[in-house]
């Protein structure tokens, strides 16, 4: 007879008490998860999170209160969780999981790792550490009403990186600097501007007019006499933006006139840009102060409602106030100090809101509220507390299966916004086996990268390709040239002289092979170099064989669409023909309740992801999901980009 303790077998309860588990992240999902773990009977828990508590967290991260604002999430989550179960042993780390201190040996001391993260880089890292340590990982994420939980086990299931994730949407530099056509272009420009003025300068985030724009067929010598930029405040000089701003003492009027008057007039001299585009207007800051002088009642008082659109004069004043505040912060930090943009820092958010809206006005776009700008600038998807609670509960259920030795019964579970045809919001799917082509968990990870070896520097290989694209933390790179030439070393100072050299300077050419090692992640990747001189503008490299971010829309006609789309517009309904029905329980690869790496456009940009076989938990029926691009037109819907579509949020 099975002996029960509460609703669990005694053997499982004993296992919970003795098993040590790691929770990575103490945010929306992490708070719910930590509470669930201690109430279920887990006694040995370690939790790690680098963040501190912000006021905006309090509506869903219920382990935190107003008095905790500014404190470590991990530490406060531990203290609050112990009130549910004082006998639990919880260790909190206010640190980054990517710190080298948390190496493979650190991960090996756990029976189970549970992710509650909010960014792809950390997810990739934990995925690799668990593979190296051969420890089961439960991955999870939410996005609004959507959620997902899946289990990753080396050699048994897909790892987090087996399925390619869509790259965060980027925009050509010339679009950001010269020809913005959407509000997001102006918001990106404003974020770049913040860094150029107050933060760490990046040559790839220049905000001044781009004279190299291929659309601008103009002669700089001829335009010199045509530009009528001010000869006084804000006169255009092609020097560092930060250097120029410092020389003016960060004068708001001079900054305003350069950015919204002089630079715009300079753009207007590029005739070809405006043959098919709407011309812009220029603004002059002093008129704002004249207006205020004669209308002293006009003031924001800086009680800015997030939902309020202030209008032109309001954003002019907000620009002035935010510049003055940020200037004071720089002065307090001392000579050479830099600020870091944070969506939760009011002065930084005010600056981006004001600058973006002023640029929107100039380029004839409808201005946005602070709330809208913050959502786009921070790539924020609204978080729903109940979604976090459901996903946290599912994490614990999958954890109980793992600790019971029933890995084969684990599932990937999707939480949908609308019920499917079987009236189910939760859809379990059989775990897929590892991908033979995965560049992380394959037996011999290997990729082919297309680059121009004469234009790609070693520093770009290290930062853009190895760290950003392939998620390495501290890569070492050796050229397979028979000599074992070290191109990049993770040891400080050993190969820094190579950074400014081109790959071709080291004999790297079409067909060369590089071996990249990350000893922290216990990860080795072979890179085949494919030289090309035909990369698109602003594209530094391409990974050969990657699936496109978005499949072409399925071909269908309106009559067919109307015959299958009844009811809620958020769900694409399957065909009602006599053929075997296929459920439209679309696969979601959802990453977080407060993700920083994604916009709504990229959320819908992966409808080409292959759908998986899933087994219904009640009936045992199995249906094979096909790629959306191969579905029959009868299964199409005009709302293919709605929330119910395959989603990969990061």
Instruction: Please provide the DSSP assignment of 613-632 as one string.
Output: -EE-TTT--EE----GGGS-
What DSSP state is assigned to residue 258? I
- CA dist 285 and 559 (Å) reads 55
**Residue environment code for 304-321, b if the CB has 16+ CB neighbours within 10 A, otherwise e:** beeeeebeeebbbbbbbb
122 labeled binding residue = yes
The pLDDT of residue 550 is 36
159 labeled binding residue = yes
Q: What confidence tier does 638 reach under pLDDT thresholds 50, 70, 90?
A: very low
- CA dist 519 and 475 (Å) reads 8
Contact 477, 516 (CB under 8 A): yes
Query: Would you put residue 212 in left (φ > 0), alpha (ψ -120 to 50) or beta?
Result: alpha
Contact 64, 83 (CB under 8 A): no
> Residue 574's closest CA among 643, 633, 646?
633
60 labeled binding residue = yes
121 labeled binding residue = yes
- CA dist 134 and 128 (Å) reads 10
High-pLDDT (> 90) share of the chain, %: 50
CA R_g for the chain: 27
- CA dist 250 and 248 (Å) reads 5
For residue range 426-477, list pLDDT tens digits in order. Answer: 999 999 999 998 999 998 999 999 999 999 999 999 999 999 899 999 999 9
- Per DSSP bridges, beta strands 44-48 and 622-623 are unpaired
Phi and psi at 101, nearest 5°, equal -60, -30
Q: What confidence tier does 412 reach under pLDDT thresholds 50, 70, 90?
A: very high
Between 507 and 9, the higher pLDDT residue: 507
- CA dist 617 and 96 (Å) reads 37
Q: What confidence tier does 424 reach under pLDDT thresholds 50, 70, 90?
A: very high
Whole-prediction pTM: 0.67
- Taking residues 159-167, report their average pLDDT: 85
Min mean pLDDT across 98-102, 215-219, 640-644 is at: 640-644
Question: C-alpha distances in angstroms, 286 versus 119, 228, 282, 582?
Answer: 43, 18, 13, 64
441 labeled binding residue = yes
> Residue 285's closest CA among 310, 265, 245, 255?
255
Q: Is 174 a catalytic residue?
A: yes
**Does 266 score more than 80 pLDDT?**
yes
> Residue 439's closest CA among 473, 401, 466?
466
**Positions of CATH 3.40.50.720 in the chain:** 10-167+382-430
Phi and psi at 264, nearest 5°, equal -70, -40
The pLDDT of residue 166 is 74
**Positions of CATH 3.10.290.20 in the chain:** 446-544
Min mean pLDDT across 246-250, 296-300, 353-357, 560-564 is at: 560-564
Q: Give the CATH number of domain 173-229+236-378; options: 1.10.287.3510, 1.10.10.10, 3.40.50.720, 1.10.10.520.
A: 1.10.10.520
Count of residues in the chain:
650
What DSSP state is assigned to residue 232? S
- CA dist 220 and 623 (Å) reads 63
Question: C-alpha distances in angstroms, 449 versus 130, 240, 531, 546, 577?
Answer: 26, 33, 8, 10, 45
**446-544, CATH topology level:** 3.10.290
Q: Does 3.40.50.300 match the CATH number of domain 10-167+382-430?
A: no
144 labeled binding residue = no
Q: Which one is catalytic: 31, 174, 186, 410?
A: 174
- Taking residues 199-227, report their average pLDDT: 62
Contact 79, 33 (CB under 8 A): no
The residue whose two tokens read 């010269």 is: 178
Contact 589, 402 (CB under 8 A): no
For residue 316 the two structure tokens come to: 């002019």
H or E segment at 265? helix 263-268
For residue range 222-231, list pLDDT tens digits in order. Answer: 444 444 443 4
What DSSP state is assigned to residue 117? -
**Positions of CATH 1.10.10.520 in the chain:** 173-229+236-378
Question: C-alpha distances in angstroms, 59 versus 62, 450, 521?
Answer: 7, 46, 36
- CA dist 536 and 558 (Å) reads 36
484 labeled binding residue = no
Neighbours of 500 (CB within 10 A): 10
Q: What confidence tier does 35 reach under pLDDT thresholds 50, 70, 90?
A: very high
59 labeled binding residue = yes
- Taking residues 26-47, report their average pLDDT: 96
**378 contact partners, CB below 8 Å, separation of at least 6:** 343, 596
Exposure of 495 by Cβ count < 10 A (0-12 exposed, 13-18 middle, 19+ buried)?
A: middle
Task: Report the Cα 255 to chain-centroid distance in Å.
Answer: 31
The pLDDT of residue 515 is 96
**Does 599 score more than 90 pLDDT?**
no
> Residue 392's closest CA among 404, 380, 384?
384
**Does 478 score more than 60 pLDDT?**
yes
**Does 602 score more than 70 pLDDT?**
no
Contact 80, 64 (CB under 8 A): yes
Contact 195, 348 (CB under 8 A): no
Exposure of 369 by Cβ count < 10 A (0-12 exposed, 13-18 middle, 19+ buried)?
A: middle
CA dihedral (160, 150, 546, 123) positive or negative: negative
The residue whose two tokens read 């600056």 is: 351
Strands (E) across 537-582 are located at 541-543
First-to-last alpha carbon distance for the chain, in angstroms, is 47
57 labeled binding residue = yes
For residue range 319-352, list pLDDT tens digits in order. Answer: 999 999 999 999 998 888 899 888 888 999 999 9
- CA dist 140 and 569 (Å) reads 26
Mean pLDDT of the chain: 78
């Amino acid at each position: 007879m099975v002996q029960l303790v509460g609703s669990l077998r005694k053997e499982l309860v004993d296992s919970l008490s003795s098993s040590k588990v790691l929770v990575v992240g103490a945010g929306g999902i992490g708070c719910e998860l930590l509470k669930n773990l201690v109430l279920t009977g887990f006694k040995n828990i370690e939790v790690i999170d680098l963040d501190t508590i912000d006021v905006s967290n309090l509506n869903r991260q219920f382990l935190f209160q107003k008095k905790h604002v500014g404190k470590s999430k991990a530490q406060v989550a531990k203290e609050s969780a112990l009130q549910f179960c004082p006998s639990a042993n919880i260790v909190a780390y206010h640190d980054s999981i990517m710190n080298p201190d948390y190496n493979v040996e650190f991960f090996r001391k756990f029976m189970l790792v549970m992710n509650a993260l909010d960014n792809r880089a950390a997810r990739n890292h934990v995925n690799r550490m668990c593979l190296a340590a051969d420890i089961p990982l439960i991955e999870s994420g939410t996005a609004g009403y959507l959620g997902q939980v899946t289990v990753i086990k080396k050699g048994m299931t897909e790892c987090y990186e087996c399925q390619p994730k869509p790259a965060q949407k980027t925009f050509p530099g010339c679009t950001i600097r010269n020809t913005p056509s959407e509000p997001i272009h102006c918001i990106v420009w404003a974020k770049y501007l913040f860094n150029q003025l107050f933060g760490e300068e990046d040559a790839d985030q220049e905000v001044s007019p781009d004279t190299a724009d291929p659309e601008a067929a103009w002669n700089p010598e001829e335009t010199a006499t045509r530009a009528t930029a001010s000869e006084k405040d804000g006169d255009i000089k092609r020097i560092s933006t930060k250097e120029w701003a410092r020389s003016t003492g960060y004068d708001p009027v001079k900054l305003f006139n350069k950015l919204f008057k002089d630079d715009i007039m300079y753009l207007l001299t590029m005739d070809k840009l405006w043959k098919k585009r709407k011309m812009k207007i220029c603004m002059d800051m002093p008129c704002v102060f004249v207006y205020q002088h004669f209308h002293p009642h006009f003031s924001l008082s800086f009680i800015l409602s997030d939902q309020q659109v202030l209008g032109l004069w309001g954003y002019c004043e907000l620009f002035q106030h935010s510049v003055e505040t940020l200037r004071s912060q720089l002065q307090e930090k001392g000579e050479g100090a830099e600020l870091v943009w944070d969506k939760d820092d009011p002065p930084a958010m005010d600056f981006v809101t004001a600058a973006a809206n002023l640029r929107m006005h100039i380029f004839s776009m409808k201005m946005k509220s602070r709330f809208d700008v913050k959502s786009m600038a921070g790539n924020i998807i609204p978080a729903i507390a109940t979604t976090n609670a459901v996903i946290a509960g599912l994490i614990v259920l999958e954890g109980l299966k793992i600790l019971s030795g029933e890995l084969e019964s684990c599932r990937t579970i999707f939480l949908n916004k609308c019920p499917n045809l079987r009236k189910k919001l939760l859809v379990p799917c059989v775990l897929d086996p590892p991908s033979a082509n995965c560049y992380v968990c394959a037996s011999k990870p290997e990729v082919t990268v297309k680059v121009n070896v004469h234009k790609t520097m070693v520093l770009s290989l290290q930062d853009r390709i190895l760290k950003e694209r392939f998620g390495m933390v501290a890569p070492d790179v050796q050229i397979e040239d028979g000599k074992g030439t070290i191109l990049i070393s993770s040891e400080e100072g050993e190969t820094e002289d190579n950074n400014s050299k081109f790959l071709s300077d080291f004999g790297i050419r079409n067909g060369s092979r590089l071996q990249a090692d990350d000893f922290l992640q216990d990860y080795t990747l072979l890179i085949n170099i494919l030289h090309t001189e035909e990369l698109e503008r602003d594209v530094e490299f391409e990974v050969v064989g990657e699936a496109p971010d978005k499949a072409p829309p399925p071909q269908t006609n309106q009559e067919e669409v109307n015959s299958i789309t009844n009811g809620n517009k958020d769900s694409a309904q399957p065909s009602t023909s006599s053929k075997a029905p296929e459920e439209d329980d679309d696969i979601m690869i959802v990453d977080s309740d407060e993700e920083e790496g994604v916009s709504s456009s990229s959320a819908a940009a992966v409808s080409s992801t292959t759908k998986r076989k899933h087994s219904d938990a009640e009936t045992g029926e199995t249906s094979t999901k096909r790629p959306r691009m191969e579905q029959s037109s009868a299964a199409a819907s005009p709302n293919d980009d709605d929330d119910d579509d395959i989603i990969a949020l990061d």
